[in-house]
Amino acid sequence: MSLEILEQYWKDNYKTYQYKYPDFFDPKWTLIESGWPYFRLSAFDNQPFKEMHAEAVALAEHFHSHRDDYGNGWKSLTIHGLNEDTQSLNQYGDDRRKTLSQLDWTWVADRCPVTKKFLTDVWPAEFLNRVRFMYLEPGGYILPHQDRPDDQKRLSVCNISLNNPEGCEFVFKDHGLVPFDDNGSAFLMDISNTHAVWNRSDKPRIHMIVHYEIGRRLRDFFYVLRSSYYTNRGNE
Amino acid sequence: MRDWNSIVVDRYFDDIKMDVRIGVGILDISRDIPSHLVRKRSFDMTFWMINQSLKLSICGYRNFHSTVSEILEESIAAGDQLCVVMCQGMMALRLAEMIRRFSEYYKSNPNFFVLGHIMAHKGRYPGLHRQMFVVNLKKWVELGKPEFNEIGIFWDRSETYSNYTLSDETISAEYTPAWIDGAEGTQEVFDVQDGSNWIDIACKNKIRIDNFDLEMRECKAFLYPYSDTDILEKIWYKLLDEVSIDDSETKLSDKLSNYTQRAWIRKLAYQEFIEKDRVYAFNTERLSSEGVRAPGPIDSLFSAAAGFKPLALLRNNGFHENTIVNYYDWCGASLNYKKHLLETWDGIDFDKWLLENDLKYNFSSTYRGNYSEFWKKEIEMEFGSAEEFKILWDRYRKLKHNFYVIDIVNEPEKLFAEINAQSGIKVLWTTNIWASLALHWNVEPETLEEKWLKFQSMIPKDLVLYGQDYLARDINNRITNNLNYTHPRYIERWPTL
């Protein structure tokens, strides 16, 4: 039944999203008003994603099964959070501030120095919330779902492909395929759009999902966004 | 920014005696400027502004840093009491006057923490605009050397900041109060501005922060290099187009959205436009401050065609009936003016001659109403009396005069060919040609330095020198003491986009 859902979803939504870039970059428009389902942070294209991938692969045995209800072969391992298997922060009680104050690097970060360095030195936000490696086995899938309600449309969470083998695809409903790169690529995602992932390759796919709060690094964030905007536009 | 009269404000500025040690540093905001050209050139020009005060020895340069703390630490290490932090793009044309005012402010408020542009928009915790602010370094240390935090936005987290009181009086807009002071209690803040944490710290420590007053504001203009950067990049080297184009559809400066930015570009474009035939009836520098440099009476004077400084040089060093006066200028109008004056003026009541000939020339920094005042001042402060000047003028008029159209920056060989063709005691005065604002706006300092070094290499050893090098320093001192001044280099810390 799940495969039938995926096949129909792929048939209905598999396409390439057509961007239209205004002449001048406006961060607010880009993040909130553009309606773009995803945005490549191409400023990060030269980050050591392969090394980060190797660090994650070395910890494969430690990953925890994730969302069995709508995923299959989907696992996670938390780098920054409450522990190595941190779920949505809202599940840890009503006092979100208290939960946030308890966030910290897990032992995973100690085993992944390149990844940690990227998150501390390169990632343009003052605070990290939950950061996880997400592992999708060959043949694994994540059924169509949305992580935010329709009225919270905006580019927010960052999904970084540490690898993305050919045959593994991330598809947004109505918007199509997200062009993750097997060599590594970072995308801001609007997860109020329904999305699904299907790994029809013979290799595991590992991404890293970064939840964050920009805080006082707003200009650093805009710099990355602006650099990426003009690079992306030039590549169109 | 006020349209200062450079004759009035520049000429006697070296009278400033500073008893407060002040450092000035440039804050690197290149990250926010999406153009390498605008990043670098706005840095170059901000340093040019600072350099006008460095040459007067009223402040020290504390370099180009990416954080406020780095600038302040360097200033402390240099022994400063105050530090002026300004972003690249700050056109502090009258920084010397600002420094004088900052010094006075410090003496009246020795326990102040920071003086700057308070920004108190409704719905946001107030902050300090980073374009320029002044820090009392002793107080900064007492307060624990707080970082100058940047603008930020929070949704899950927040800051707890002191409540505050704003003055009813405002300076230039409803969001720029004259001062901000602490009040009882605290508030949760989700939207912070640049320097909001300094406002909070000051409020918690019962230190009032004052805004820049109007007099201080009129000494500078911020170029806002991160605003409409693409237009700025296109305009930078094509200012004349902004004057010659009538069509507002194609006139780029009309499309600049920031008022101050637009005003600065228009001002500079207009200055460049009128510079091509501008005539300096009066000099913008002192006439005799350098004293006697020639080993005997001058045989040949090579002089820019400006003001009465050539006469002062002749008088101070001495001259004889066979002395030759050689005027050079890139501008034919200046040479024509000199010829005209020589032929028609009797050395009495220069202001009246100016009034009669006012429409023939585009005189710099003067207008009909102040000819009399300027001439009176010229006589009293530089030549002793009208009678003494008349005697000098009559001797001068009888000398042989030559006139050459030469751009000494781009064709120095022409100048030196004339100099080398003459003999005896030769004196060259280059005024501030190498250090002018318009030249530095249009030519990068690296290129100017190359041109300057070429010029310098052509100077004969026996040539007596007056004037400034490309860094506005005395040429004679540079060459006599083998000083190799250079300008600070722009450091690119952010990859070019």
Q: What is the pLDDT of residues A44-80, one digit of tens each?
A: 999 999 999 999 999 999 999 987 778 899 999 999 9
Chain B residues within an 8 Å CB radius of A227 = 495, 497
What is each CA distance from B33 to A222, B29, B401, in whole angstroms?
11, 7, 51
Give CA–CA dist B201/B305, Å, rounded. Answer: 56
Average pLDDT, chain B: 93
Instruction: Please check the confidence at residue B12 and state whether its pLDDT lies above 70.
Output: no
Contact B152 A214 (CB under 8 A): yes
Instruction: Please check the confidence at residue B368 and state whether its pLDDT lies above 80.
Output: no
Place of tokens 């072969």: A73
Instruction: Please check the confidence at residue B236 and state whether its pLDDT lies above 60.
Output: yes
Of B150, B495, B497, the CB nearest to A218: B150
Instruction: Please check the confidence at residue A190 and state whether its pLDDT lies above 70.
Output: yes
Chain B residues within an 8 Å CB radius of A218 = 150-153
Choose the mutation target among B28, B66, B87, B150 for the interface with A, i.e. most A CBs under 10 Å.
B150
Instruction: Please check the confidence at residue B5 and state whether its pLDDT lies above 80.
Output: no
- For residue A149, what pLDDT band results from cuts at 50, 70 and 90? very high
Judging by DSSP bridges, how do beta strands B179-189 and B209-211 pair with one another? Answer: antiparallel
A100: alpha, beta or left? (left if phi > 0; alpha if psi -120 to 50): alpha
Contact B153 A214 (CB under 8 A): yes
CA distance B17 to chain A (A): 40
Instruction: Please check the confidence at residue A128 and state whether its pLDDT lies above 70.
Output: yes
CA distance A231 to chain B (A): 8
**A104 near B CB under 8 A:** no
Choose the mutation target among A88, A223, A232, A235 for the interface with B, i.e. most B CBs under 10 Å.
A223
Terminal CA-to-CA distance of chain A, rounded, Å? 38
Terminal CA-to-CA distance of chain B, rounded, Å? 32
Q: Looking at residue B402, what is its pLDDT?
A: 98
Give CA–CA dist A69/B395, Å, rounded. Answer: 105
- Which segments of A14-137 does DSSP mark as H helices, in order? 27-28, 49-57, 96-101, 107-111, 113-117
**B32 near A CB under 8 A:** yes
Of B31, B155, B192, the CB nearest to A219: B31
Q: What is the mean pLDDT of residues B440-468?
A: 97
Of B24-33, B235-244, B395-404, B475-484, where does mean pLDDT reach its minimum? Answer: B235-244
Angle between helix B309-317 and helix B386-397 axes, rounded to 10 deg = 90
Could you tell me which CATH number the domain at B292-480 has? 3.40.50
For residue B305, the Cα-to-chain-centroid distance in whole angstroms is 22
Q: What angle do CA B388, B393, B395 make, to 5 degrees?
A: 100
CA distance B448 to chain A (A): 32
Q: Looking at residue B140, what is its pLDDT?
A: 98
Instruction: Kindly indicate whether the domain formed by A2-235 is annotated with CATH number 3.90.1300.10.
Output: no
Contact A216 B152 (CB under 8 A): yes
**CA nearest to A89 within chain B:** B156
The 8-class DSSP code of residue B174 comes to: T
Of A100, A218, A227, the CB nearest to B156: A100
**A213 near B CB under 8 A:** yes
Any residues with CB less than 8 A from the CB of A43 and at least 6 apart, and which?
A223, A224, A227, A228, A231
Contact A220 B31 (CB under 8 A): yes
Give CA–CA dist B204/B187, Å, rounded. Answer: 12
Q: What are B410's two structure tokens?
A: 């781009």
Q: Looking at residue B15, what is its pLDDT?
A: 62
Of B157, B192, B230, the CB nearest to A213: B157
Chain B residues within an 8 Å CB radius of A126 = 152
Q: Looking at residue B250, what is its pLDDT?
A: 75
Percent of chain B whose pLDDT exceeds 90: 79
Q: Looking at residue B497, what is its pLDDT?
A: 42
Q: What is the mean pLDDT of residues B310-315?
A: 96
Q: What is the mean pLDDT of residues B300-308?
A: 96
- For residue A18, what pLDDT band results from cuts at 50, 70 and 90? confident
In sequence order, the β-bridge partners of residue B304 are B328
Contact A219 B157 (CB under 8 A): no
**CA nearest to A129 within chain B:** B156
For residue A126, the Cα-to-chain-centroid distance in whole angstroms is 18
Q: Looking at residue B273, what is its pLDDT?
A: 85
| E-strand stretches of A69-167 | 71-81, 104-105, 127-145, 158-161
Q: Looking at residue B364, what is its pLDDT?
A: 73
* Inter-chain CB pairs, A–B, below 8 Å: 48
Q: What are A69's two structure tokens?
A: 């209800």
Give A196-213 as a DSSP string: EEEE-SSS-EEEEEEEEE
Q: Looking at residue B289, what is its pLDDT?
A: 82
CA distance A116 to chain B (A): 22
- Which segments of B3-148 does DSSP mark as H helices, in order? 6-10, 36-54, 68-77, 95-108, 137-142
Q: What is the mean pLDDT of residues A219-225?
A: 96
Chain A residues within an 8 Å CB radius of B32 = 219, 222-223
- Tell me the longest C-alpha to C-alpha distance in chain B: 86
Q: What is the mean pLDDT of residues A22-35?
A: 92
Chain B residues within an 8 Å CB radius of A96 = 156
Instruction: Please check the confidence at residue B167 and state whether its pLDDT lies above 80.
Output: yes
Q: What are B43's two structure tokens?
A: 């840095």
Contact A217 B152 (CB under 8 A): yes
Of B151, B157, B497, the CB nearest to A127: B157
Contact B152 A215 (CB under 8 A): yes
Q: What are B77's two structure tokens?
A: 């290490």
Give CA–CA dist A6/A143, Å, rounded. Answer: 7
Q: Taking Cα atoms as reference points, which of A78, A27, A90 lies closest to residue A227?
A: A27
Give CA–CA dist A67/A4, Å, rounded. Answer: 19
Q: What are A97's two structure tokens?
A: 């501030």
Chain B residues within an 8 Å CB radius of A130 = none
| Domain boundaries along the sequence of chain A | 2-235
**CA nearest to A228 within chain B:** B497
Using one digit for the tens of pLDDT, what is the confidence trace for B39-87?
999 999 999 999 999 998 999 999 999 999 999 999 999 999 999 999 9
Q: Looking at residue B13, what is its pLDDT?
A: 52
Q: What is the mean pLDDT of residues A92-109?
A: 93
Any residues with CB less than 8 A from the CB of A202 and at least 6 apart, and which?
A138, A165, A167
Chain B residues within an 8 Å CB radius of A128 = none
Average pLDDT, chain A: 94
Interface of B with A in 134-163 (CB under 8 A): 149-157
0.95 surpassed by complex ipTM:
no
Q: Looking at residue A2, what is its pLDDT?
A: 84
Three-class secondary structure of residue B399 per DSSP: coil
- The CB density around residue B36, as the number of other CB atoms within 10 Å, is 16
Interface of A with B in 114-143 (CB under 8 A): 126-127, 129
Q: What are A56's two structure tokens?
A: 């994650």
Angle between helix B350-357 and helix B371-378 axes, rounded to 10 deg = 150
